[in-house]
Amino acid sequence: MSWEIVIGLEIHVQLATQSKLFSGAKVGFGAQPNTQTTLVDLGMPGALPVFNEAALRMAVAFGTAIDAEVCKHSVFARKNYFYPDSPKGYQTSQMDHPIVGLGHLDIQLEDGTTKRIGVTRAHLEEDAGKSLHEDYDGMTGIDLNRSSTPLLEIVSEPDLRTAKEAVAYMRKMHAIVTTIGISDGNMAEGSMRCDANVSIRQKGQQKLGTRAELKNINSFKFIERAINIEVQRQIDILEDGGHVHQETRLYDADKNETRPMRSKEEANDYRYFPCPDLLPIEIDEAYIDAIRQSLPELPDQRSARFVSQLNLSPYDAGVLSASRGLADYFESVVAVCNDPKLSANWVTGELAKYMNQNNLEIDAIPLSALQLGQLISRIQDDTISGKGAKTVFDELWNNAGEVDAIIDAKGLKQVSDQGAIEALVDDVIAQSSKQVQQYIDAAADKRGKMLGFFMGQVMKASMGSANPGQVNALLKQKLDALC
């Protein structure tokens, strides 16, 4: 049987405001429990919320960035439920009147085509606190530092058809929110996380299947894994003649499985109603326009510019504009070495490889754009070979230092002295009479391949320091002269 996967994502983006959504407490990660709280965040009697306008500006910026309807009238609503880390007994969110309405986002598929994904809405809401079950023997600690941290919840249409599309969508969202500066996008610290609504149906069928909601997925890798695991679970159930239950499930990364949340963690009826402590948000066209005008270059625009101005391939341009940090880094490298193509190769190649291996984001890498730019300049001016450059790169990554100093210390400088290289070439030809004879005897179109042996010998004799381009040209010239 052939199944179609239907996925919708709800992405929670933590907004990069200085203070909380409804209080003056600082927003920050890793502080001592309950030190970043006010009466409002603690849900004390008589404490009242005051809306942080910075969050509004960020939500509007997001709406304009995805070409969505920005609502001139939006309303905060209370979502009522009891839980110890929900200090007021309700979460202040938006229900019937969100700040951002219908919009869309284009994602690039693996085959190079573009797919448009609908965005249903985005609304402002406050985060809950945290229950700490581990550190308090038999008891639960409550940390309300995160309470009332501003979130933008972005809800997609069920337009995604594969786990890879879901990842591409999430990455694109990440690129947009980091580019317009409304979030640090730090997934490890929970600044961006998502819930995935996953269902399957038989190909060609119109009606949606029963969905499961996978909660709180906090890395690109886990999105793909969680969705694939869940899809397989649903296929197994349906192919065994069973039914998928509509439920909320958690993805357990350690066991790589999804399992139902305890029913206590869910409430069925949140009794939403407009929050009487907060006035509706009323904004006008001028307010929205001013924010739209001040948007920075968006990822798609930047990618297009990389293609048209820097002659990058659309693929490289897409990869490099996928996060503001990476794109900024890349442009800084180009500014130093003035070689977009080589810079793109290094950033998407060696740098990306090291980042992946070390699980680091661009803002945490030990290598500055200036250093990489200098390194690339040394390839351009033939000081070092590409292979030598990789050694320098590794040294810069692991032990820091200065590019030229490392080249010197490691003896990586290429010999480009024509006379010195010629002497080496002559030596190798003199000592390899058998191979020279084979070269002469070979058909002209086979000789290119045979050049490799002589190259290897010369490079070995130079201890890797000879300029390979020069060696190649000289060898070819001298050997062909013998034929």
Partner 1 sequence: MTHKTLVQISKDLAAGDYSSRELTQDVIADIKARDSIYNSFISVSEDLALRQADAADARISAGTADILTGVPFAHKDLFCTQGHATTAASKMLEHFVPPYESTVGQRLLSAGAVCVGKTNMDEFAMGSSNESSYFGVVKNPWDLMAVPGGSSGGSAAAVAAGLVPAATGTDTGGSIRQPASFCNLTGIKPTYGRVSRFGIIAYASSLDQAGPMCQTAEDAALMLNAMAGFDEQDSTSVQLDTPDFTADLNLPLQGLKVGLPKEFFGPGLNPQVAECVMTAVKQIESLGAQIIDISLPNLELSIPAYYVIAPSEASSNLSRFDGVRYGHRCDQPQDLMDLYCRTRAEGFGTEVKRRIMVGTYALSEGYYDAYYVKAQRIRRLIKNDFARALAQVDVIMGPVAPTPAFDLGSNTKDPVAMYLEDIYTLSANMAGIPAMSAPAGFVNGRPVGLHIMGNYFNEAKLLNIAHQYQQITDWHLQTPATNPAKEA
Q: Is 136 in the site for partner 1 (CB under 8 A)?
A: no
Q: Which stretch binds partner 1 (CB under 8 A): 36-44, 114-122, 248-256, 455-463?
A: 36-44
Q: Which stretch binds partner 1 (CB under 8 A): 44-52, 63-71, 327-335, 346-354?
A: 44-52
Residue of the chain from 264, 357, 430, 449 that contacts partner 1 (CB under 8 A):
264
Nearer CB in complex with partner 1: 255/264: 264
Q: How many residues bind partner 1, per CB under 8 A?
A: 29
Q: Which stretch binds partner 1 (CB under 8 A): 87-95, 298-306, 329-337, 438-446?
A: 87-95
Q: Is 128 in the site for partner 1 (CB under 8 A)?
A: no
C-alpha 214/C-alpha 229 separation (Å) is 11
- Chain-centre distance of CA 283, in angstroms? 32
Residue of the chain from 28, 35, 39, 289 that contacts partner 1 (CB under 8 A):
39
Q: Is 278 in the site for partner 1 (CB under 8 A)?
A: yes
- Tally Cβ neighbours within 10 Å of residue 89: 11
C-alpha 352/C-alpha 359 separation (Å) is 10
* Least CB distance to partner 1 at residue 17 (A): 17
Q: What DSSP letter does each residue of 344-386 carry, written as one string?
A: HHHIIIIIHHHHHHHT--GGG-SS-HHHHHHHHHHHHTTSS-H
Q: Which stretch binds partner 1 (CB under 8 A): 46-54, 60-68, 201-209, 331-339?
A: 46-54
Which residues within the stretch 176-195 sit at the binding site for partner 1 (CB under 8 A)?
none
Alpha-carbon torsion, ordered 87, 90, 92, 95, to 10 deg: 160
Q: Is 118 in the site for partner 1 (CB under 8 A)?
A: no
Spell out the alpha helix ranges (H) of 212-368: 220-239, 285-293, 299-310, 314-320, 324-337, 340-346, 352-358
* Least CB distance to partner 1 at residue 42 (A): 6
Q: Is 267 in the site for partner 1 (CB under 8 A)?
A: no
Which residues within the stretch 47-76 sit at the binding site for partner 1 (CB under 8 A)?
47-51
- Residue closest to 238 by CA, chosen among 205, 214, 261, 263: 205
Q: How far is CA 114 from CA 40, 111, 168, 170, 459, in A?
A: 45, 9, 11, 15, 46
C-alpha 2/C-alpha 67 separation (Å) is 35
Q: Is 280 in the site for partner 1 (CB under 8 A)?
A: no
List Cβ neighbours of 55 (8 Å cut-off, separation of 6 or more). 15, 17, 21, 124, 150
Q: Which stretch binds partner 1 (CB under 8 A): 35-43, 148-156, 319-327, 467-475?
A: 35-43
Which residues contribute to the site for partner 1 (CB under 8 A)? 39, 42-51, 78, 80, 82, 84, 87-90, 142, 264, 269, 271-273, 276-279
